[in-house]
Structure 1
Amino acid sequence: MSPDKLLPKRPYLFRALYDWIIDNELTPQIVVNASRHGVNVPREYVKDEQIILNIAPHAVGQFVMNNEAIEFNARFNGVMQAIYIPMAAIEALYARENNEGLGFPPELYYEQQAINVAVEEAPSTQPKPKPAFKIVK
């Protein structure tokens, strides 16, 4: 199978490492590229286009993880917020206590997704037609 047809490795590696961190009673933290399309995080905590989030079970609620994204609720400065992070935006997962983890390299699958989104969102180069008005009596 050609490399551009393969599913991304990131969700599978993420789940395995997340489980390992939790099973060892450590604190899972993620580094998120907040500039990626679809990321919903509190912008006031973003620094240099990145945010580091604690995703331990006691720190988040309604945690959902699938091949496309992770989502959960978390409190920031006492305010509950819904967080959504596409897998493409997760740059690293590690244990806070010992920094054991993985940095995720760019994957062709996600780069192609980003190109497709950019093309879909690009403004049309065709001029807009002038509105046609009719006189109604």
Structure 2
Amino acid sequence: MPSFAVQQIVYGALLSMKVRNINTLCPYIFKAFYDWLVDSDVTPHLLIKVQTKGVIVPSQFREQDVMVLSISPSAVRNFDIGPKYLSFNTRFSGVDEYIVIPYKAMCDLIAHEDQVAFPINMWMQQDLEDDEENQEDSYENEYMQEEDENCEDSADDSAIFRTVDDINDSEDSAEKNKNKDNSTDGASDDGSMFTIVDKD
């Protein structure tokens, strides 16, 4: 699962993309995983939530909560990775069926031979919200509120992380370094990229 910091970076990027009306990332994320499995001679299966709005599956499966579909090139026809959903034709019990799977209904893309599941829904989650009016504004307000709360939480910590350059630029730290230099001979200038300093 992506770390919180990575998620925040991705969410911020997605926000700027939405403001500029850049295409959704979902089909590109799905296609990347799908092509990778196919090119590796692995049979891709897809675990989906059947009860999600927009899902079209054969009638005998509509009461299920989840189901697994084979989406290998040999099992499907008219395979289309669209901007909002995946669609294709396949056969169930000899009957040709039309399948539609919105990205928000996808759970895992599975490498069938190894039974390894890739939770692609995690990577597409932020881009799967319904297209409602003022969605960008509500998301921006929520995102900024979370950032403010994170800043407040950080202010309560007994120590904070700062880059070495930031520390060297501060007057207080410069004074501390000066005092340290006066009391310690032969100290090395090398250090880690991040260090912990006491909160002012």
Identity between Structure 1 and Structure 2 (%): 29
Could you tell me how far apart the structure 1 residues matched to 2:130 and 2:24 are? 11
Higher relative contact order (CA 8 A, sep 6+): 1
**Higher strand content, 1 or 2:** 1
Residue of 100, 109, 121 corresponding to 1:93: 109
- Give the TM-score taking structure 1 as reference length: 0.71
Measured against aligned partners, the alpha-carbon deviations of 1:104-129 in whole angstroms (never above 9, x if no partner) come to 2272332x318x5xxxxxxxxxxxxx
> What is the total number of aligned residue pairs between the two structures?
114
Aligned to 1:113: 130
Query: Counterpart of 2:130 in 1: which secondary structure?
Result: helix
> How many Å apart are 1:14 and its aligned residue?
1.2
Residue of 14, 17, 20 corresponding to 2:30: 14
> How many Å apart are 1:71 and its aligned residue?
0.6
Could you tell me how far apart the structure 2 residues matched to 1:2 and 1:54 are? 33
Could you tell me how far apart the structure 2 residues matched to 1:9 and 1:33 are? 20
CA RMSD of aligned residues (A): 2.3
Tell whether the 8 Å contact from 2:47 to 2:66 is kept in structure 1 after alignment: yes
Q: Note the residue ranges of structure 1 that are not aligned, 5 or more in a row.
A: 117-137
**Higher helix content, 1 or 2:** 2
Tell whether the 8 Å contact from 2:89 to 2:96 is kept in structure 1 after alignment: yes
- Give the TM-score taking structure 2 as reference length: 0.50
Tell whether the 8 Å contact from 1:17 to 1:101 is kept in structure 2 after alignment: no
Aligned to 2:40: 24
Residue of 73, 79, 84 corresponding to 2:100: 84
Query: Counterpart of 2:72 in 1: which secondary structure?
Result: coil
